[in-house]
Chains A and B, each alone.
Chain A
């Protein structure tokens, strides 16, 4: 008898996709993973609508209104939500803009940048509005697990997902969570 496969969704908010690259670094272990889980909405699939999932992995922090929508939807549809990587945990590199006002950031990019023609701050409704500051995901929704690293190594992700799927307590070895 085949056990029903657990459903996993992933997304990258204000991140660099580095955590997803690390996920791909699972290499041949991806086959084993594919036997046990079914990938729902994710940059790795072409599924547009998020279905009901067991696990949601969130890369990146919350920088704009679209990030908020995606994150809220993940919270609503995923039984367990995981913040993956430095940006999701702390805001990371994108949060470096928090030292400046949004006005300063946009003016620097769109009004004072080198080689700009017809300089203006973009206001097309298609473009998601930016939040005043970049926030870690746990400041917007409840997060069940935090997986640190920039990015977390494939080994760390593998250990974490395996332990979670098999119902064991999460225990990463020192070498999987130290970064110097």
Chain B
């Protein structure tokens, strides 16, 4: 009894710290889990009661996010980043090694309850992998000696705070800087500019600059801001999308780590221009390690009058920023799903229109921009639209941050003016033997050496920044199969074409990859891909077949060398599937086997 009243007390305190607001539900559940290591059913009921919402709603949210656990987890929860770039660096071998050393199976919690080991989607450390998370904090540059020490730290129950700092070291690896990363920016300069020249003048500069959404979609940022500014209503919001979930992308992580002031300044500028007083940064759960530093930066900005009440001494200029943490849901990178998540719900994309600029957070007009977009906007306010537009191509002004990883000598962040060729990027990063590039992540496009003269810009190859290099030694299909697993895991399950389609695609790719496929399966993949492109509710499902469809066109030989010569083959080894029954019954008669002759019959079309 005493125990349950302590539990209720703890939860009441957490809920109170969040003002009892149901929009904070995800944040509350994260904290409750930090406290209990998982979310036992009674905690969910208590949270529901304290917030005055239905227990079903709370359970719904708890079950939606990968990093919220409704079943017990180990005191140490270790999740290996499972992007193809981690695998290229040997993550699978390390994962097996760690489990062996800890004497446990993958995807389980050890019997003593001390440690769980599993995998998670790309953690955004592709330039310094193999990577993992331990209790939500990023681990980089894993190798066997490091894992040996982790085994000791776990078994000796050493608190995370006493683990060696270098395990958690995240470097920025900025390899090429242009106007965004290269030029000094004086804090407050953009805010002084908007106070001096007024919001209309800043919007004019934004229009002139031609800045487009740097998350990859490429919508004109000025148009978003103008639409939101003109939308009726006094209460408006600014949201910074730092839910950088596209595998292979990590430029927003570097911006939040090294250029947070610039990003916050861009958000504050936007607040002034559209007439919002509140902003949110939606930070992906994988970047939990950044939270304290970001909060400190916000605090400092409040202290020096760049945030909060009366910014720069102007009583009419109020704006503040809150940080919301995600909890492992790729779909929340889609802006309307992100808003749902910000409101404390599970992140399912909304039907658009209406768009967020008129009906966003809490149905109020909202600008949602990518981290890089806000950073660029702050620079444009200071340096002018013409300055920004002097770089890039006709339709893609300015520069783009690329996150390079995979088979290259110098992975990291490269800032280029739009229009740079793929070949130039490959030369700069030391990728001498590239076979293909996965551009813009699994949702983007796979290109082969024939296309290395294409240019990175919205007119040609649009990208949010992910750039994963596969050299000649790689099997392209390893990457494709990895991506299909990613989409199955990340599909939110709301619409059938995506929920079912991603699974069917994974099964077909696995069938071919394991040598059971025929030409009919390749045709089936194309058919399924086309259905998903037109029938899925949001971009996740519409783009999920891209890697498969692209590679069928660009790397047909990679697929074809795996095919059986018959018209159709079973998806699994029929005879091997009888093995367990043979063992259990001890049977060895002819009827207990399927012969090659049997199977030939069915292979006929």
* Chain A residues within CB distance 8 Å of chain B: 65, 68-69, 71-73, 75-76, 101-103, 106, 121-123, 125, 128-133, 135, 139-142
With CB as the reference atom, state the residue of chain B lying closest to A73.
Answer: B601
B601 touches A129 (CB 8 A): no
Within B526-585, the residues touching A (CB, 8 Å) are 567-568, 570-572, 574, 577-582, 584-585
* Sample (12) of A-B pairs whose CB atoms are under 8 Å apart: A69-B598, A75-B601, A75-B604, A76-B601, A121-B584, A125-B592, A129-B587, A130-B581, A132-B580, A139-B571, A139-B572, A140-B570
Q: How far is the CA of A121 from the CA of B567 in the complex (A)?
A: 38
Q: Which chain B positions have C-beta within 8 A of A122?
A: 585
Q: Which chain A positions have C-beta within 8 A of B568?
A: 141-142
With CB as the reference atom, state the residue of chain A lying closest to B500.
Answer: A90
A68 touches B584 (CB 8 A): no
User: B605 interface residue, CB < 8 Å from A?
Assistant: yes
- With A68-B598, A72-B601, A75-B602 already in contact, the answer to whether A129 and B582 are too (CB < 8 A) is yes
Q: How far is the CA of A68 from the CA of B605 in the complex (A)?
A: 16
Q: Which chain A positions have C-beta within 8 A of B601?
A: 72-73, 75-76
* Chain B residues within CB distance 8 Å of chain A: 520, 567-568, 570-572, 574, 577-582, 584-587, 589, 591-592, 594, 598-599, 601-602, 604-605
CB distance from A58 to the nearest CB of B (A): 12
Q: How far is the CA of A131 from the CA of B581 in the complex (A)?
A: 7
Q: How far is the CA of A115 from the CA of B587 in the complex (A)?
A: 26
Q: How far is the CA of A133 from the CA of B594 in the complex (A)?
A: 15
- With A72-B602, A141-B568, A142-B568 already in contact, the answer to whether A123 and B587 are too (CB < 8 A) is yes
Q: Which chain B positions have C-beta within 8 A of A106?
A: 584
- With A102-B580, A121-B584 already in contact, the answer to whether A142 and B594 are too (CB < 8 A) is no
Q: How far is the CA of A91 from the CA of B7 in the complex (A)?
A: 44
CB distance from A168 to the nearest CB of B (A): 20
Q: How far is the CA of A65 from the CA of B589 in the complex (A)?
A: 13
Q: How far is the CA of A129 from the CA of B591 in the complex (A)?
A: 8
B591 touches A128 (CB 8 A): yes
A103 touches B572 (CB 8 A): no
Q: How far is the CA of A52 from the CA of B520 in the complex (A)?
A: 23
Q: Which 8 pairs from chain A and chain B are nearest by CB?
A: A72-B602, A123-B585, A142-B568, A139-B571, A129-B581, A131-B577, A76-B601, A125-B589
From DSSP, what is the main secondary structure of chain A's interface residues?
mixed
CB distance from A111 to the nearest CB of B (A): 11
A65 touches B591 (CB 8 A): yes
Q: How far is the CA of A132 from the CA of B577 in the complex (A)?
A: 5
With CB as the reference atom, state the residue of chain A lying closest to B524.
Answer: A138
Q: Which chain A positions have C-beta within 8 A of B579?
A: 132
B578 touches A131 (CB 8 A): yes
B572 touches A71 (CB 8 A): no
Q: How far is the CA of A135 from the CA of B585 in the complex (A)?
A: 21
With CB as the reference atom, state the residue of chain B lying closest to A141.
Answer: B602
From DSSP, what is the main secondary structure of chain B's interface residues?
helix
Q: Which chain A positions have C-beta within 8 A of B581?
A: 102, 129-132
CB distance from B505 to the nearest CB of A (A): 14
With CB as the reference atom, state the residue of chain A lying closest to B586.
Answer: A123
Q: How far is the CA of A142 from the CA of B571 in the complex (A)?
A: 10
CB distance from B516 to the nearest CB of A (A): 9
Q: How far is the CA of A129 from the CA of B585 in the complex (A)?
A: 9
Q: Which chain B positions have C-beta within 8 A of A121?
A: 584-585
CB distance from A103 to the nearest CB of B (A): 6
Q: Which chain B positions have C-beta within 8 A of A103?
A: 580, 584
Q: How far is the CA of A139 from the CA of B584 in the complex (A)?
A: 25
CB distance from A81 to the nearest CB of B (A): 10
With CB as the reference atom, state the residue of chain B lying closest to A103.
Answer: B584
Q: How far is the CA of A106 from the CA of B580 in the complex (A)?
A: 11
Q: Which chain A positions have C-beta within 8 A of B574?
A: 68, 131, 140
CB distance from B352 to the nearest CB of A (A): 25
Q: Which chain A positions have C-beta within 8 A of B602?
A: 71-72, 75-76, 140-141
Q: Which chain A positions have C-beta within 8 A of B584?
A: 102-103, 106, 121
Q: How far is the CA of A33 from the CA of B591 in the complex (A)?
A: 37
CB distance from A80 to the nearest CB of B (A): 11
B594 touches A65 (CB 8 A): yes
B605 touches A142 (CB 8 A): yes
With CB as the reference atom, state the residue of chain A lying closest to B568.
Answer: A142
- With A65-B578, A65-B591 already in contact, the answer to whether A135 and B599 are too (CB < 8 A) is no
CB distance from B57 to the nearest CB of A (A): 23
- With A65-B578, A128-B591, A142-B567 already in contact, the answer to whether A72 and B520 are too (CB < 8 A) is no
Q: How far is the CA of A180 from the CA of B567 in the complex (A)?
A: 38
Q: Which chain B positions have C-beta within 8 A of A135?
A: 571-572
- With A102-B581, A139-B572 already in contact, the answer to whether A72 and B587 are too (CB < 8 A) is no
CB distance from A104 to the nearest CB of B (A): 11
CB distance from B495 to the nearest CB of A (A): 15
CB distance from B579 to the nearest CB of A (A): 7
CB distance from B240 to the nearest CB of A (A): 40
Q: How far is the CA of A130 from the CA of B591 in the complex (A)?
A: 11
With CB as the reference atom, state the residue of chain B lying closest to A140.
Answer: B570
- With A135-B571, A142-B567, A142-B568 already in contact, the answer to whether A72 and B598 are too (CB < 8 A) is yes
Q: Which has the most chain A C-beta neighbours within 10 Å: B584, B594, B601? A: B584
Q: How far is the CA of A135 from the CA of B572 in the complex (A)?
A: 10
CB distance from A126 to the nearest CB of B (A): 8
A129 touches B604 (CB 8 A): no
Partner of A125, one of B577, B587, B599, B605: B587
With CB as the reference atom, state the residue of chain B lying closest to A123.
Answer: B585
B570 touches A141 (CB 8 A): yes
Q: How far is the CA of A71 from the CA of B594 in the complex (A)?
A: 13
Q: Which chain B positions have C-beta within 8 A of A102?
A: 580-581, 584
Q: How far is the CA of A129 from the CA of B602 in the complex (A)?
A: 19
Q: Which chain B positions have C-beta within 8 A of A128?
A: 591
Q: How far is the CA of A132 from the CA of B573 in the complex (A)?
A: 11
Q: Which has the most chain B C-beta neighbours within 10 Å: A65, A73, A101, A135? A: A65
Q: How far is the CA of A31 from the CA of B128 in the complex (A)?
A: 72
Q: Which chain A positions have C-beta within 8 A of B586?
A: 123
Q: How far is the CA of A142 from the CA of B599 in the complex (A)?
A: 13
With CB as the reference atom, state the residue of chain B lying closest to A136.
Answer: B571
With CB as the reference atom, state the residue of chain B lying closest to A90.
Answer: B500
Q: Which chain B positions have C-beta within 8 A of A125?
A: 587, 589, 591-592
Q: How far is the CA of A125 from the CA of B589 in the complex (A)?
A: 7
B598 touches A129 (CB 8 A): no
Q: Which chain B positions have C-beta within 8 A of A76?
A: 601-602, 604
Q: How far is the CA of A129 from the CA of B581 in the complex (A)?
A: 6
CB distance from B41 to the nearest CB of A (A): 22
Q: Which chain A positions have C-beta within 8 A of B577?
A: 131-133
